[in-house]
Chain A
Amino acid sequence: MEWKKNLFTSNPVNHLMMSLKKEIRLSCKRCGEVSLVGVHAEGVHAFVCPFCGQPHLLLLDANLGLRDFRAVSTVPARKPFDVARLKVKDERLVPASLKPFFEAIKRGVLPPNAEEVFEALSELDLLEVE
């Protein structure tokens, strides 16, 4: 199996994807203060404004472009000055009621009530915060 591993890590495209890192400017939806944060993976992230404590959700595409950024009432993680990536531990166990919302997020759309989805996933112990 070692050769497979080497093949994967030596592939320049994969290597580039793995090392992709970007700094983005986030302007707090509540107080307007700007924070510069480093991101390195696509998907949904939680961000708490270090100036006023307002929680936000942001969605990054595969190129780490900001697809969505919005203030929410709560996020499952509190990590000021940084962003926390939200990941589902086992997609197969997402309950049917949450599936449509979860699929929308996977397709790159944050539903209007995204924080409820993440809170529910968190209560089911399905959410991983990186």
Chain B
Amino acid sequence: MAFSSYLLRKFITNPGEALRIKRTGDEVREYAAWKLYSVLEESGLLAKLQEQPWWSFKDRDLARMVYDALVAEGLADSSGDLIRIRRAARRPAITTKESADLAPVFDQAFLYLPHALETGERPAQSEVRAAMAKILDNFATRLEMEVAVEETGLSKLGEDAAIADFYPRAGASTAVLLERTKAKIVVVEPYRENLAIIERLVKLTGQEERVSYVQAPLEGVKLPQRVDVVFMAEVIHWTFNPRLALARARENLKEGGFLAVAQSVYSSLGLLAAAAGLLLGAVAPPPASDELRRMIREAGFSIEKWLESLGVVVAKALPR
């Protein structure tokens, strides 16, 4: 099922909201493409990108993503491992609070792009901590998580159900689960400094009794009790071994439980957002849509629901 069918259904019940979601996606994509183009032009890298193949840059993953994003946005034509610029990007008007909230992250992240492309050095985590938190916890990314909660049926779970929130980092997924579900939440977070932030956010919501914490790497996590759902929001390309993380997700599910995923993939807005993410702490480019399907299946799940649009996937998968 395409994401557009979600929007269509939303349009019937709430046309204003459906149009706003659509507009947000378009605006964020156009803004990110414009910012990427502008930074490359100002740094003189736009010319280099037309003369040098992507693999000759120090940061190959990033260079490849930049090449592919420019081509996908219609700003350049692909010519083997080179590109030829077709037209300049235009700055879009920003009209929704979600796109206004995410735009500064692209401003900040793409500042590091020229240096990273030429030297292969990405900024230190301590330098980009706030931007990293913001790329995960902004109103646009929340919209994606809210759609995932609604579409995978998390909002229908009762108070006795338990959801494992895998790797929330800045706590955006935890906040969405607290807001949109009634279930208990088990935060599974590998890093102590992230846990400190999540615990503060939970305190601010006044719902401490609903949340428990497990500090463990996703690849080796064994929860004290199995859960009804594992929620993975923008986790795959931020994890060193996503296949192992998915396998652990399956092992920690109760009988009848399921996996809920909200994930950028290697196309459209997902590609642009992931290029910014790569500069702010993601460990790899996002998977292609087919690759994500394969990873989920190989971890022992069958996919029950798959919504995809603008390079973002919302999926529900059941253990086989």
- A52 to B104, alpha carbons, bound, how many Å? 43
- The interface residues of chain A, by DSSP majority, are classed as loop
B146-173, CB under 8 A of A: which get 1 and which 0?
0000000000000000000000001110
Q: Does B50 contact A (CB under 8 A)?
A: no
A113 x B204 contact (CB < 8 A): yes
Q: Does B295 contact A (CB under 8 A)?
A: no
B196 x A98 contact (CB < 8 A): no
Q: Does A77 contact B (CB under 8 A)?
A: no
- A57 to B170, alpha carbons, bound, how many Å? 25
A92 x B201 contact (CB < 8 A): no
**Most central of A95, A99, A124 by chain B CB within 10 Å:** A95
Q: Does A69 contact B (CB under 8 A)?
A: no
List the A side residues contacting B171 at CB < 8 Å. 95, 97
From the candidates B130, B131, B142, B193, name the one contacting A96 in the complex (CB within 8 A): B142
Shortest distance from the beta carbon of B245 to any chain A beta carbon, whole Å: 23
Kindly report which residue of chain A lies nearest to residue B127, judged by CB atoms. Answer: A125
- A97 to B178, alpha carbons, bound, how many Å? 11
In chain B, residues 117-143, which have Cβ atoms closer than 8 Å to a Cβ of chain A?
A: 126, 129-131, 133-134, 136-139, 141-142
B170 x A95 contact (CB < 8 A): yes
- A126 to B108, alpha carbons, bound, how many Å? 14
**Most central of A89, A93, A94, A125 by chain B CB within 10 Å:** A93
A116 x B131 contact (CB < 8 A): no
From the candidates B130, B139, B197, name the one contacting A90 in the complex (CB within 8 A): B130
Q: Does A82 contact B (CB under 8 A)?
A: no
Interface size for A (C-beta < 8 A) is 20
A124 x B129 contact (CB < 8 A): yes
B204 x A95 contact (CB < 8 A): no
B104 x A117 contact (CB < 8 A): no
B175 x A97 contact (CB < 8 A): yes
B166-187, CB under 8 A of A: which get 1 and which 0?
0000111001000000000000
B133 x A95 contact (CB < 8 A): yes
- A31 to B136, alpha carbons, bound, how many Å? 43
Q: Does B203 contact A (CB under 8 A)?
A: yes
In chain A, residues 86-130, which have Cβ atoms closer than 8 Å to a Cβ of chain B?
A: 89-90, 92-99, 101, 113, 116-117, 119-120, 123-126
List the B side residues contacting A117 at CB < 8 Å. 204
Q: Does B59 contact A (CB under 8 A)?
A: no
- A97 to B139, alpha carbons, bound, how many Å? 9
B172 x A120 contact (CB < 8 A): no
List the B side residues contacting A98 at CB < 8 Å. 201, 204
Kindly report which residue of chain A lies nearest to residue B196, judged by CB atoms. Answer: A123
Q: Does B200 contact A (CB under 8 A)?
A: yes
List the A side residues contacting B134 at CB < 8 Å. 92-95
Given contacts A90-B130, A125-B126, contact A96 B139 (CB under 8 A): yes
A116 x B200 contact (CB < 8 A): yes
- A42 to B203, alpha carbons, bound, how many Å? 27
A125 x B129 contact (CB < 8 A): yes
Q: Does B101 contact A (CB under 8 A)?
A: yes
A101 x B204 contact (CB < 8 A): yes
- A99 to B175, alpha carbons, bound, how many Å? 12
3 tightest A-B CB contacts, nearest first: A95-B137, A92-B104, A120-B200
What are 30 A-B contacts defined by CB distance under 8 Å?
A90-B130, A92-B107, A92-B134, A93-B105, A93-B130, A93-B131, A93-B134, A95-B133, A95-B136, A95-B138, A95-B170, A95-B171, A95-B172, A96-B137, A96-B141, A96-B142, A96-B175, A97-B172, A97-B201, A97-B204, A99-B101, A116-B204, A117-B204, A119-B200, A120-B197, A120-B201, A123-B196, A123-B197, A124-B130, A124-B170
Chain B residues packing against A (C-beta within 8 Å): 101, 104-105, 107-108, 126, 129-131, 133-134, 136-139, 141-142, 170-172, 175, 193, 196-197, 200-201, 203-204
- A119-B200, A120-B200 are known; give 11 further A-B pairs, CB within 8 A: A90-B130, A93-B131, A93-B134, A95-B172, A96-B139, A99-B101, A117-B204, A123-B197, A124-B130, A125-B130, A126-B130
